[in-house]
């Protein structure tokens, strides 16, 4: 089904709603139903709950105390770190997207780029794992330029919120957490965990387990306090042991040292790699230098005989806020990066959220594109290396509304980076005779998600067409390849696709040139089967064109959008069009049967009291519960989660339509604050899989859990 024809938005759900009751009226309350999650293959089962108001057993570090929705959090003490167990991990914060391959690989990249996010202390709206309702969030989407993303906060053990790891992994970017100790308290912590081999191995083992459990790729180690002689002698062995264990348990992972402490234990930032901090560099995968370097510092590192085989592991720090005596920063960060690249070194760009924190939030997208555009001459485009299907609707992970096939599915602002799709190249190019074009995200006209790709510019009168590269990829093609492009056209221009491929049998870098796929009519067998499998996709103003590329066993390297004049004319032509989705499939996948959801169950039921009458009885009751199910996540784009009234106290009110609650990007979802009848009733909780290609399955393939409830005598 189309997602909005018979589905109402749940107006009563407000994930930021503070409970109306006082502690005297019941406080936060819980009743669990863990027995509903037994290992059974039966998909449609019923459970019964009695509404009781008791103190919640859910751990406060993993669930919002007001709504019980799942949140990401850090570990704030050594005791918390040493007592952590995989069994106590937050099940919602585990990455569901494996680290994709990219070309070239990290190991083959000679000048790498690390981004250290450092956004206003961390754990803002991004801590809400299932997304947040926020007007102007901070997000990142220039993944093609970077190799490593580090989530940073000043808590001792910073575990990246899962949405950042999912988005990074989708683009082949490593996601790192942070282990930090600071100042006087940090000295005390280091005295304890660096007291001896047993102690530092215990800490390292915990850090390895945490990264492995949550699915991220390593650690930035930031020791910003003095170390005693007893502590500093164990720091390099700690780093070496941690690095070795990370490599063994999480292949491809990294441990990076921040330039702070010297080998004698003193806290003195060097702003470079030298003999005073080399012992730590030698014990791990790299060093992130402090920011107050000079060109002389860069020359010293680039010519250091001991570092010649590891220049790529030297990440020269650049503070975008330009604090202290630094080169560049702000919108002149490119000046610093130019110097770093001149000496063929890697870089660590610190706090690029400056474009968000220090400017009008309404201009965030424009300023972020400007910032990364200025850097682009000194950055290197990485090609995601992925199998078919290749699909992107250009969603940046936030929006003013959520769209499905050109229609509003949920009419509220939202942010969830787990929904971010593979990002295109955001570019600004000047053409001859004053012409230009640019690509940028657009929230006004959207096909699916929160944004489309806006392609706009001025075609000079001397040109009949322009060709914009929007993806740089490494995707092996099938012998027959089906392509779908959804776009919203501009007047006086035509839109078409051009592809660039390489013949893998000859050379990865040998470009064959433009390949223009053959357009298919609506009555073509593949188009009819595509429409039958994925439903009618027409929406006002949007055009869907299907193509076929035959006789090719090549590798897709570039996807370009061609904009051409409809008529010959001798004047400049402004154009403004939106690309809603590009899909590249093996046509055989169109005919493959779709799988149903299995093993649907409910657990951790929590009841919240709303309004009460004069007798203290609840007149409003809110249901919170965790849903689990089984489904191959590699096949799905996301899952829609609904609830549906089946019956209640009033026999005149029959079963209702499904009410959309939200979207899940894993096989676990927390239903939050659903208002139900306060006496008794029966509801269905439903989960609909949406395939990567956008196929909506019949309800017989959905997961369903029927939940009946009655009030207890004290409610």
* pLDDT recorded at residue 40: 44
* Minimum mean pLDDT range among 123-137, 332-346, 378-392, 516-530: 516-530
* pLDDT recorded at residue 282: 98
CB atoms within 10 A of CB 286: 21
Rounded Cα–Cα distance for residues 119 and 243 (Å): 27
Beta-bridge partners for 573: 459
Token couple for 146: 């970077």
Spatial CB neighbours of 648, under 8 Å, sequence gap ≥ 6: 677, 679, 680, 681, 682
Q: Which residue in this structure is represented by tokens 């282990």?
A: 179
Rounded Cα–Cα distance for residues 23 and 252 (Å): 49
pLDDT greater than 60 at residue 33: no
The whole-number average pLDDT for the span 339-352 is 98
The whole-number average pLDDT for the span 450-471 is 96
**At 145, is the secondary structure helix, strand, or coil?**
helix
527 φ, ψ to 5°? -65, -40
Q: Are strands 174-182 and 157-158 parallel, antiparallel or unpaired?
A: antiparallel
The whole-number average pLDDT for the span 83-103 is 96
Rounded Cα–Cα distance for residues 577 and 386 (Å): 28
pLDDT category at 8 given cuts 50, 70, 90 is very low
Percent of the chain's residues with pLDDT above 90: 75
pLDDT tens-digit map of 157-184: 999 999 999 999 999 999 999 999 999 9
Cβ–Cβ under 8 Å, residues 314 and 289 = yes
pLDDT greater than 60 at residue 5: no
* pLDDT recorded at residue 694: 85
Cβ–Cβ under 8 Å, residues 526 and 546 = yes
Cβ–Cβ under 8 Å, residues 380 and 312 = no
User: Cα separations (Å) of 701 from 4, 78, 294, 604?
Assistant: 19, 47, 62, 25
The whole-number average pLDDT for the span 460-473 is 94
Specify burial of residue 374 (Cβ count, 10 A radius: 0-12, 13-18, 19+).
middle
pLDDT greater than 60 at residue 83: yes
pLDDT category at 510 given cuts 50, 70, 90 is low
pLDDT tens-digit map of 595-608: 999 999 999 999 99
Rounded Cα–Cα distance for residues 542 and 45 (Å): 41
Q: How does the average pLDDT of the chain come out, rounded? A: 89
Beta-bridge partners for 70: 63
Rounded Cα–Cα distance for residues 537 and 1 (Å): 11
- Choice between 652 and 258, residue whose per-residue pLDDT is larger: 258
pLDDT greater than 90 at residue 16: no
Number of separate helices (H) and strands (E) present in the chain: 12, 36
* pLDDT recorded at residue 3: 38
Beta-bridge partners for 441: 453
CB atoms within 10 A of CB 276: 16
pLDDT category at 9 given cuts 50, 70, 90 is very low
pLDDT tens-digit map of 375-413: 999 999 999 998 999 999 999 999 999 999 999 999 999
521 φ, ψ to 5°? -75, 165
Concatenating the DSSP letter of every residue in 30-57 gives ----GGGG-S---SEEEEEEEE------
* Minimum mean pLDDT range among 362-371, 634-643, 661-670: 634-643
pLDDT greater than 80 at residue 11: no
pLDDT category at 553 given cuts 50, 70, 90 is low
pLDDT tens-digit map of 659-689: 999 999 999 999 999 998 777 899 999 999 9
pLDDT greater than 70 at residue 508: no
* pLDDT recorded at residue 37: 61
pLDDT tens-digit map of 275-296: 999 999 999 999 999 999 999 9
pLDDT category at 519 given cuts 50, 70, 90 is confident
Cβ–Cβ under 8 Å, residues 288 and 263 = no
Residues for the chain: how many in total? Answer: 715
- Choice between 650 and 162, residue whose per-residue pLDDT is larger: 162
């Amino acid at each position: 089904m189309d997602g909005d024809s018979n589905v109402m938005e749940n107006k009563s759900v407000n994930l930021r709603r503070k409970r109306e009751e006082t502690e005297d009226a019941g406080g936060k309350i819980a009743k669990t139903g863990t027995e509903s999650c037994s290992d059974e293959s039966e998909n449609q089962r019923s459970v019964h709950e009695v509404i009781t108001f008791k103190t919640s057993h859910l751990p406060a570090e993993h669930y919002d105390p007001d709504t019980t929705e799942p949140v990401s959090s850090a570990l704030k003490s050594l005791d918390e770190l040493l007592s952590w167990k995989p069994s106590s991990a937050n099940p919602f914060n585990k990455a569901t997207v494996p680290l994709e391959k990219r070309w070239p690989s990290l190991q083959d990249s000679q000048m790498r780029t690390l981004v250290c996010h450092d956004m206003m202390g961390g754990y803002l709206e991004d801590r809400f794992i299932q997304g947040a309702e926020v007007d102007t969030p901070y997000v990142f989407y220039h993944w093609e330029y970077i190799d490593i993303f580090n989530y940073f906060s000043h808590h001792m053990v910073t575990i990246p919120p899962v949405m950042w790891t999912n988005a990074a992994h989708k683009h082949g970017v490593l996601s790192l957490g942070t282990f930090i100790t600071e100042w006087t308290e940090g000295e005390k912590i280091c005295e304890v965990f660096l007291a001896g081999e047993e102690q530092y191995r215990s800490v390292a083992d915990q850090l390895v387990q945490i990264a492995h459990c949550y699915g991220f790729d390593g650690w930035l180690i930031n020791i910003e306090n003095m170390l005693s002689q007893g502590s500093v002698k164990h720091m390099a062995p700690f780093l070496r042991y941690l690095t070795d264990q990370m490599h063994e348990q999480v292949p491809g992972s990294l441990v990076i040292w921040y330039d702070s402490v010297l080998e004698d234990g003193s806290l003195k930032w060097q702003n470079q790699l030298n003999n005073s901090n080399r012992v730590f560099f030698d014990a791990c995968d790299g060093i992130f230098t402090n920011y107050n370097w000079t060109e002389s510092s860069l020359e010293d590192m680039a010519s250091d005989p001991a570092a010649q085989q590891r220049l790529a592991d030297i990440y020269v720090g650049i503070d975008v806020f330009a604090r202290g005596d630094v080169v560049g920063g702000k919108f002149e960060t490119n000046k610093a990066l130019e110097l770093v690249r001149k000496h063929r070194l890697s870089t660590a760009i610190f706090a690029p959220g400056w474009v968000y924190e220090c400017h009008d939030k309404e201009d965030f997208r424009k300023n972020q594109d400007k910032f990364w555009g200025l850097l682009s001459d000194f950055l290197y485009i990485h090609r995601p290396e992925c199998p078919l299907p290749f699909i992107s609707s250009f969603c940046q992970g936030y929006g003013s509304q959520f769209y499905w096939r050109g229609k509003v599915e949920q009419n509220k602002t939202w942010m969830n980076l787990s929904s971010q799709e593979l990002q295109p190249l955001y570019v600004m190019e000047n053409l001859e005779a004053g012409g230009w074009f640019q690509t940028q995200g657009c929230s006004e006209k959207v096909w699916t998600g929160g944004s489309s790709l806006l392609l706009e510019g001025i075609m000079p009168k001397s040109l009949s067409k322009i060709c914009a590269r929007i993806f740089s990829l490494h995707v092996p093609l099938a012998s027959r390849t089906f392509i779908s492009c959804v776009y919203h056209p501009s007047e006086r221009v035509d839109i078409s696709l051009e592809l660039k491929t390489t013949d893998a049998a000859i050379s990865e870098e040998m470009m064959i040139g433009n390949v223009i796929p053959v357009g298919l009519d609506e009555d073509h067998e593949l188009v009819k089967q595509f429409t039958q499998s994925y439903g009618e996709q027409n929406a006002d103003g949007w055009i869907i064109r299907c193509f076929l590329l035959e006789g090719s066993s090549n590798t897709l390297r570039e996807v370009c959008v061609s904009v051409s004049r409809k008529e010959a004319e001798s004047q400049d032509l402004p154009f403004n069009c939106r690309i809603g989705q590009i899909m590249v499939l093996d046509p055989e996948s169109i005919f493959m049967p779709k799988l149903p959801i299995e093993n649907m169950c409910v657990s951790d039921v929590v009841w919240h009291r709303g309004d009460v009458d004069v007798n203290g009885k609840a007149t409003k009751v809110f249901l919170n519960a965790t849903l689990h199910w089984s489904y191959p996540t590699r096949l799905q784009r996301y899952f829609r989660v609904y609830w549906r009234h089946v019956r209640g106290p009033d026999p005149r009110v029959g079963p209702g339509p499904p009410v959309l609650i939200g979207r899940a990007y894993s096989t676990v979802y927390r239903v939050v604050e659903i208002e139900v009848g306060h006496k008794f009733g029966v509801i269905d909780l439903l989960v609909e899989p949406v395939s990567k290609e956008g196929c909506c399955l019949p309800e017989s393939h959905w997961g369903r859990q029927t939940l009946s409830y009655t009030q207890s005598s004290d409610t």
